[in-house]
Amino acid sequence: MSGPLISLGILVVGAILSALCGRRSLAAARVALLSVSLAAAAGTPTALRVLVTGRGVSWRAPWSLPWGSLSVALDPLSAFFIAFILLLAVPFAFYGRGYLARHRGSSWHSLSWSLFQILVASMVLVVSAADGLLLLMAWEAMSVASLFLVIHDHEEEGVLKDGLVYAVAAHLGVAALLGLFALWGSWAGSLRFADLSAVPLGRGASWTLFLLAVAGFGSKAGLAPFHVWLPKAHPAAPSHVSALMSGVMIKMGIYGILRILLLLGGWRPGWGYLLLAMGGSSALMGVLYALGQHDLKRLLAYHSVENVGIITIGIGAGVLARTAGMEIASLLAFMGALLHVLNHGLFKGLLFCGGGAAAQASGTREMDALGGLLKRMPWTGTGFLIGSMAICALPPLNGFASEFLIYSGLLSGALSGRAAPSLVLFFSVPVLALAGGLALACFAKAFGVAFLGEPRSAPARDAREANPWMIAPMMALALACIAIGLLAPLMVSLIAEPASALAGVAAAAGGGGAAAVLTKVALAGWALLLLAAILSALRWLLLRGRTISKAPTWGCGFSAPTARMQYTASSFAEPLLGPLRGVLRPRVHLVEPRGLFPEGGSFSSHLEDWADKILYEPLFGGAANLAGRVRPLQQGRLQLYLLYTLLALIALLLWQVLA
């Protein structure tokens, strides 16, 4: 157990030192890099040992806090997430060092480095806590640290408002979690996980707890309809924070759901159906809304919703398959979900780093002002391309491996022929496939509009390649994406133990099936690489000895080509979103060209979130309305306030007299 505890200590000490650096924020960054790296070095070996052997460790200390105990435990599930958090925090910290380098030193930056380390430490504590109260405290620390990281650029317009949305979402989520642990703890008489899992639960009780867990943890994970904070908070945050939050922090919600499932036991098929439905709708809605976005980071944020949906489909399939007695299908689905957690952390981090670098170099996140960045920023562009391919689940990259595992779980459950569960698992396959296809279209748009073609604005034309501090982490993440895709069978040993605990089978019994699947995946990847090598050799052969001339992209033989002739983000999405206009209801501004020699015409479309419009705007509008009615009470007059006190006092006394 000592490894992760040492990591926690290092991170806390580093956070304090960084905060003390004041205006010397470069020193604070160095401290952060050192502490995050040391923490990873200290914590990962223990976590990996637990992960491979499957033997957990625990540690407990006396604590004077009522209802809580300082008990920390590492089972394979925790170990998987600890290794995931610690290893991924390192490249993001290095990237952040480069991302903030162009700013002048300020104490605010030092503080943000301190918060970065606190965020990592609190996430480690969240996944290793074996006590409800400790988990809630770590969870709250995580929310608060990330909130202040989101409003890092608080001088910019709208950032504080987006931060507020995140704060409200985070606290509504915590409210559900408080309810969860308060209820469960009152039944169990203690908040220690061992006691919680020992208490027998009836049908209604376990459903209540499960729904509270899904609402509380699901809102952090960004499951629809709790996802509205993601597209607001991620673009507002600096890119290394977006990467950490989107890549790692939202997975704490996934961890929470898995942990509560493990503790609850006695799963019900209804939970599987619910998770599949939520996952499916998140995946589809996330990718559809992503298609309609113009802001590069907002697009990526909606893809986080999509990928969390995919992970949840895996979890839902695992739950459903286990309750129907299909252990192998369940194991495959859980392994796919876990592997996708890791993979999404890698490629979404890479995409946020690449997108952030592109946005920083050209001064805008609006895709319609970018273009042609691949020529100006080759490293960043390549990184973004690899990330895009991985997130679209194209072989030979890692996204393919994990989604393939989920597919095989779904199909193996569907083919085992147990009426209702099999049918539902079967129909989840096209949902997943549709989301994957749309993701491909979406990243063709994102990469094509931002990185290919000709620059659409002067700043994009003058964009320069990012500094090495930013490039190196991106390359490391890209290499990891490729390596996991090509060496997929090796990953089985990392995910077999936690997945088999969830699926309820011995790791040795079920791991073979997954290894076979992943071997095929890797072979397909190698075959593709070989094919690509043959094709490029062929190209080289054919082009040998010929003159190659270069012309502007989209030149098309026009005498006066302009960058405005290119597809824009709106026009690229139009053929896909057009048929869905009735469902998505984009706001379209269309000025049609008129006459024989039209003078002007324009088209633009904006997509507003359905959940925002139908669910949250009426909800919060109503709350604001109610609050507004009470507002006349605040007149600013001392006498009036005292009158309220007097009236309350007299009312209480009267009640006593009359009673």
Footprint of other proteins (CB under 8 A):
624, 628, 634-640, 642-643, 645-646, 649-650, 653, 656-657
Q: Tell me if 168 sits within 8 A of 220, measured CB to CB.
A: no
Beta-bridge partner residues of 131:
192
**What is the spatial distance between Cα 352 and Cα 304, in angstroms, rounded to a whole number?**
11
What is the smallest separation between the CB atom of 635 and other proteins, expressed in angstroms? Answer: 7
What is the smallest separation between the CB atom of 613 and other proteins, expressed in angstroms? Answer: 17
Q: Phi and psi of 100, rounded to 5°? A: -90, 0
State the residue for tokens 């995910």. Answer: 495
Q: Decide whether 580 or 643 has the Cβ nearer to other proteins.
A: 643
Q: Which two tokens stand for residue 195?
A: 């006691």
**What is the spatial distance between Cα 125 and Cα 5, in angstroms, rounded to a whole number?**
9
Residue 626: alpha-carbon gap to chain centroid: 34
Beta-carbon contacts of residue 93 (< 8 Å; ≥ 6 apart)? 32, 33, 36, 37, 116, 240
What is the smallest separation between the CB atom of 644 and other proteins, expressed in angstroms? Answer: 9
**CA torsion angle 241 246 247 249 (round to 10):** 80
Q: Decide whether 186 or 645 has the Cβ nearer to other proteins.
A: 645
Q: Decide whether 45 or 621 has the Cβ nearer to other proteins.
A: 621
What is the smallest separation between the CB atom of 231 and other proteins, expressed in angstroms? Answer: 23
Q: Decide whether 420 or 626 has the Cβ nearer to other proteins.
A: 626
What is the smallest separation between the CB atom of 160 and other proteins, expressed in angstroms? Answer: 16
Q: Decide whether 534 or 640 has the Cβ nearer to other proteins.
A: 640
Cis ω for the linkage preceding 396 (within 30 of 0): yes
Q: Decide whether 594 or 613 has the Cβ nearer to other proteins.
A: 613
Q: Tell me if 334 sits within 8 A of 315, measured CB to CB.
A: yes
Of 220, 29, 27, 221, residue with least CA distance to 115: 29
3 state DSSP class of 602 = strand
DSSP H helical ranges for 487-633: 492-503, 507-543, 569-577, 581-584, 610, 617-630
Q: Decide whether 549 or 645 has the Cβ nearer to other proteins.
A: 645
Beta-bridge partner residues of 61:
70
Distances (CA, A) of 70 to 60, 137, 348: 6, 11, 34
Q: Decide whether 550 or 637 has the Cβ nearer to other proteins.
A: 637
What is the smallest separation between the CB atom of 631 and other proteins, expressed in angstroms? Answer: 8
Q: Say if strands 57-61 and 70-74 run parallel, antiparallel, or are unpaired.
A: antiparallel
Q: Decide whether 547 or 645 has the Cβ nearer to other proteins.
A: 645
Dump the DSSP string for 36-84: HHHHHHHHHHHHHHHHHH---EEEEE---STT--EEEEE-HHHHHHHHH
What is the smallest separation between the CB atom of 608 and other proteins, expressed in angstroms? Answer: 19
Q: Decide whether 536 or 635 has the Cβ nearer to other proteins.
A: 635
Q: Decide whether 539 or 613 has the Cβ nearer to other proteins.
A: 613
**CA torsion angle 585 588 594 597 (round to 10):** -130
DSSP H helical ranges for 54-158: 76-99, 107-128, 132-150
Q: H/E element holding 591?
A: strand 587-591
Q: Which two tokens stand for residue 39?
A: 């923490």
Q: Decide whether 556 or 657 has the Cβ nearer to other proteins.
A: 657
Amino acid at 282: S
Q: Decide whether 583 or 624 has the Cβ nearer to other proteins.
A: 624
What is the smallest separation between the CB atom of 87 and other proteins, expressed in angstroms? Answer: 47
Beta-carbon contacts of residue 111 (< 8 Å; ≥ 6 apart)? 18, 19, 148
